[in-house]
Structure 1
């Protein structure tokens, strides 16, 4: 992933707020909930917190968050040059996979539990993986399938076949186009974007990065993001626009790790786009820096200074290899199943969506090393999360809405609202027999806001005393916590700090099993 300039995006976002952050229609009980709220100068801290608690995702954002696992497919001319960034001068003749198998890519991703695949349809080099009518720098001038091939078509068709969502990455920076650096380039870009949005069926995610370097003429481009957003909303209204877009933000690092406090409700006006541009693509394995890359984006202290608040969730991207494109010398450096499991905990388990990159090789297939790791990850996931140890427990909690067993029914759509006493809510669980566990999972129904600020898990020991075993801050769509192994028959989840009464969807206890 490459992010070099957010300033244009930020201006564009302000310009088209009414178009992009439209209110969400919910039942009358929660009619005040919406996707963006204005903070008035006269609002008290308590009123600001109340407003923050009622910011909710749009339908497209909610559907995106529910995917949890998404995949990046970095593939193109760089696959055959050994580069990460091409210069746009490559000959299309270089692109000639001997056995391209998009069916294999999507089949393996589907088997591993992934819900969406995003293809790098055009990277910075300008080489198009579809036969675009607006450039000669594409597969139509390659020897692959005698110039009749279309990688985008094959991937989108495979996604339809296996029931996966399809997403497109289209680099705004084009190092091949002579139009780059002129207003005519925005017309050119719109034409290519239109091809992708109208010729390949449903598109679930459109992914822009912020790279804005020089073109072949030495000029830089002023991107017309507002126009691009409007086109996407018109042609693919259910698609989220990610990273350089209004629906999904970059988490700020490419380590596969979210924040201890990962708020999806953040100030719209204090995200320092220039700081992101300055720090991206440099020390990508270091801790986040700058406003958007800081550890605190949405605390009470942060939102008190805001002029408006938006629902802007985090996408957490990381590659299964050191690089984003395939390099044969990295075959021995593929992340292990255990490493991928750790990343699941620190991405999806920290209120984010994981975007895992798996680059096809020169042959045109996912490499065996990547597939083995992917299979291993899936096995570890199934071994750990198949059985919720609380599924048959007796649940006790004073509720204002819903039934106690809703939190252990494996149904996200059935949530409960606890009655808060002295600012706390307690969910008590009594099992039929002692169980051994070391993972806690908690989920909020984010359609009713992100509201939990602090929670803890306690177990009753042999002497009848309660002992805290772990604690966390934010929850959001999903929060996973690992802790030393405990065995108990009675446990309780204590929610001790909230912005408003939360809607708790699911609570689970699991045993982490890392043996294949």
Structure 2
């Protein structure tokens, strides 16, 4: 009888424990996806013939001998990534031009045919070895679009690409991520066999996370700005969609789908420069630390991973400007997340699951996301409180869900105790792998995180608090159409000093007061560098450099005439990127003719697209001395990748003298948007 009683008690205890086990919710990540999310931040490298030709999308007809990085050092790339705090490197093993960074036996457009190392080099072999040496993970991008291969567009091409893919994935060791896009452009269309391609990946690299618009490992975030939605689910509906033009809507890519069919978290891709490939013209356009911080908090801080492109230069090295900026970013991030104030707090919760040894309130501030706390199954709202003996000051809050059991939290807010009353300081939606809130400084003895809604019992792994150092906002530099330069800062009242000779601004440089009192006239162009200072130079911002060409002071639009005051074509040449001329809604082509007011020696032109609809893809650019005889275009083509990366486009052409210019928009970046829009049109004379 005693034995049966003990057995019954044991079974009862077992059942109670079982009753408190956490049931997984919804689509779940694989172990590889959990490990991938923990990487958070890694490097993208775009490198190939485009590096030497100033193109974003090569046409595949480049002489492979143009690829000749005489000082290539993959160990320098890996050292830089490691020092920057990155966890891996993904490289463009084959971009749309078809050029292979390894001596592929399935192509004649490879490093074997290049001048580099007399055709005996292998970039992938060098980089995979360097990644192994520095403890980084190695990934590859292979574009299925191939503008060089003769089989592209024919029935046999998918097998050629599968063989190419197999060659890479079986030859260079473990691959943590296989990067695909759905690019399928030009005059030839190729139906891609994605099932075949995926099978090749998983046969060779079963733990690789496959990137595309629809995963299946991770998804494109829907923009190339590196920013995820403020709401960001790691789940996505994929039925009926495919990579590329048939991908999900931008909103779905950016925010995911609540209760989506598959676990496909967001990867946020962005370049440290305006373009993806290196060009010497962008050496002074490396993103600022402030901009990179915005990207970090908008990606890693919003349940995404950040893949930051750092293009290798023509010597085969990461340029000093890029590596310097990466180190500056690392120092700020290290300082921001150095001291976890939550570890000093006493943590309590209004509801905690019992009879489960894995669940502890103390897990919330133990500094690791491998442990967790959870509520009972019937509780989808709860409050977590951090209490301190002495007041603490913080401005960053980090929350993490234990994603192995699914993403659950739909809404939460944050409160601090201020003069005996609770004050709400933030109200947000999803958490996921990691959510970081950037807040103003708060000093308090208690912080409350109220989970207001969840899909199932919340399972939280981490609550962290930090006091990040403040940064001065970068000065902004602009110029009016008549050549007057203005400089502005949004951070308090710093002193702004500037130079016009290319030198580094110091507190001894000329001080900018206002447009009324500080007159800087650059109608013929020039270089302006500016820096913000506080406390007599003890605190300083980064230096901002802006290069101007000739101003539009004498310019006049001669065609078309203004249809309405709110849509004056003169907006395209008014010196402001915030005003946009929309050419029309009747289909392409559209054109703009401008009288420059004088004969100039032109070397190229610039087109700044709008933020939003009306981005132009195909173009022709003409010049004339009399405004009547235009001849053939001095430049024509497409603004490669402009839809996803809508930054200022620079097009060079053979030097010519002209007084009149004619810009023709021949095709849209999005066929669903029949209008053509110009934020700014400029010429290059310098």
Among 450, 453, 470, the alignment partner of 1:497 is 453
| Residue 226 (structure 1) aligns with | 195
| Residue 106 (structure 1) aligns with | 78
- How many aligned residue pairs are there? 449
Asked whether the equivalents of residues 391 and 409 of structure 1 are also in contact (C-alpha less than 8 Å), the reply is yes
Judging by fraction of residues, say which structure has more helix: 1
Moved more, 402-411 or 418-427: 418-427
Alignment partner of 1:113: what SS? coil
For 1:514 and 1:369, the matched residues in 2 are separated by 23
| Residue 284 (structure 1) aligns with | none
Among 287, 291, 308, the alignment partner of 1:339 is 291
- Structure 1 segment 182-197 matched on structure 2, within 5 A: 182-197=154-169
Among 285, 294, 300, the alignment partner of 1:348 is 300
| Residue 483 (structure 1) aligns with | 439
For 2:63 and 2:444, the matched residues in 1 are separated by 65
| Residue 257 (structure 2) aligns with | 298
| Residue 648 (structure 2) aligns with | none
Among 349, 363, 380, the alignment partner of 1:406 is 363
For 1:409 and 1:220, the matched residues in 2 are separated by 53
- Tell me the CA shift for residue 514 of structure 1: 4.0
Deviations 1:77-96 (A, max 9, x none): 10011101111111111111
For 1:70 and 1:152, the matched residues in 2 are separated by 17
Among 135, 139, 157, the alignment partner of 2:107 is 135
Among 396, 400, 403, the alignment partner of 1:439 is 396
For 2:221 and 2:44, the matched residues in 1 are separated by 16
For 2:199 and 2:377, the matched residues in 1 are separated by 43
For 1:296 and 1:248, the matched residues in 2 are separated by 13
Structure number with greater CO (CA < 8 Å, separation at least 6) is 1
Asked whether the equivalents of residues 265 and 312 of structure 1 are also in contact (C-alpha less than 8 Å), the reply is yes
Among 309, 331, 339, the alignment partner of 1:387 is 339
Q: 1:29 to 1:227 in 2, by over 3 A?
A: farther
Q: 1:150 to 1:177 in 2, by over 3 A?
A: same
- Tell me the CA shift for residue 190 of structure 1: 1.4
Deviations 1:320-374 (A, max 9, x none): 0000000111111111122111111000110000011000000110011111110
| Residue 368 (structure 1) aligns with | 320
- Tell me the CA shift for residue 165 of structure 1: 0.6
Q: 1:199 to 1:220 in 2, by over 3 A?
A: same
- Structure 1 segment 150-189 matched on structure 2, within 5 A: 150-189=122-161
Q: 1:183 to 1:32 in 2, by over 3 A?
A: farther
Give unpaired runs (5+ residues) of structure 2: 1-17, 472-539, 541-686
- Tell me the CA shift for residue 270 of structure 1: 6.7
Alignment partner of 2:404: what SS? helix
Among 248, 251, 254, the alignment partner of 2:218 is 248
Give unpaired runs (5+ residues) of structure 1: 1-26, 34-52, 281-287
Superposed CA RMSD in Å reads 2.1
Moved more, 413-422 or 443-452: 413-422
Alignment partner of 2:252: what SS? coil
Asked whether the equivalents of residues 378 and 457 of structure 2 are also in contact (C-alpha less than 8 Å), the reply is no
Moved more, 479-488 or 318-327: 479-488
Q: 1:29 to 1:254 in 2, by over 3 A?
A: farther
TM-score (norm 2): 0.63
Judging by fraction of residues, say which structure has more strand: 2
For 2:264 and 2:20, the matched residues in 1 are separated by 23
